[in-house]
Amino acid sequence: NGDPTPVPRVAVVIFLLKGRSLLLGRRRSAVGNATYALPGGHLEFGESFEECAAREVKEETGLDIGKSEFLTVTNNVMLEQPKKCHYVTIFMRSVVGEEQVPQNLEPNKCDGWEWYDWDHLPHPLFGPLERMVKGGFNPFSS
């Protein structure tokens, strides 16, 4: 086909924590369609992880997050998806106040944002997130 040679890309995604819950949205995408995922997107040229996290959260939910911190990074090769891709995914964390109400600002990419209790996560989770949860990763105690 005429596509350029695929390359790994860098994604920054954010655990937005509120009490014992976190923010997830169901994806509308050729990658992980109809699975629940964190807000986030592609690292742009010149950005820090923190800047990317704040920008993506603002673009996708309208929320203003303050500082965020680096949690971990995973390598995600997704060749079985309708759009084959490979992401090095940076996971950030930010804690938000009780009054925060997310808006679905990109309804073509997401069915809507909701807070989910950590002990009652929705299914199916997006592959990269599913693997972390199954592996015992906990964003509240990291």
**Residue closest to Mg ion (Cβ):** 41
User: Which of 49, 128, 132, 139 is close enough to bind ligand 8DG by CB under 6 A?
Assistant: 128
Give whichever of 50 and 56 is closer to ligand 8DG, judged by the CB atom. Answer: 56
Tell me which DSSP letter residue 6 carries.
P
Q: Which stretch binds ligand 8DG (CB under 6 A): 37-45, 61-69, 115-123, 133-141?
A: 37-45
Q: Whose structure tokens read 């964390």? A: 93
Phi, psi of 133 (to 5 degrees): -65, -45
Spatial CB neighbours of 82, under 8 Å, sequence gap ≥ 6: 30, 31, 33
Strand-strand pairing, 9-18 and 85-95: parallel
User: Which of 15, 49, 87, 113 is close enough to bind ligand 8DG by CB under 6 A?
Assistant: 87
Q: Which stretch binds ligand 8DG (CB under 6 A): 40-48, 64-72, 114-122, 133-141?
A: 40-48
42 contact choice in ligand 8DG, Mg ion, none (CB below 5 to 8 Å, kind-dependent): ligand 8DG
If DSSP codes are grouped into helix, strand and coil, which group holds residue 105? Answer: coil
37 contact choice in ligand 8DG, Mg ion, none (CB below 5 to 8 Å, kind-dependent): ligand 8DG
92 binds ligand 8DG (CB under 6 A): no
DSSP lists the bridge partners of residue 25 as 37, 113
Dist CA 45 CA 67 (whole Å)? 20
Element (H, E) at 133: helix 127-134
State the residues that interact with ligand 8DG by CB under 6 A. 11, 13, 29, 31, 37-38, 40-42, 56, 76, 87, 89, 109, 126, 128-129
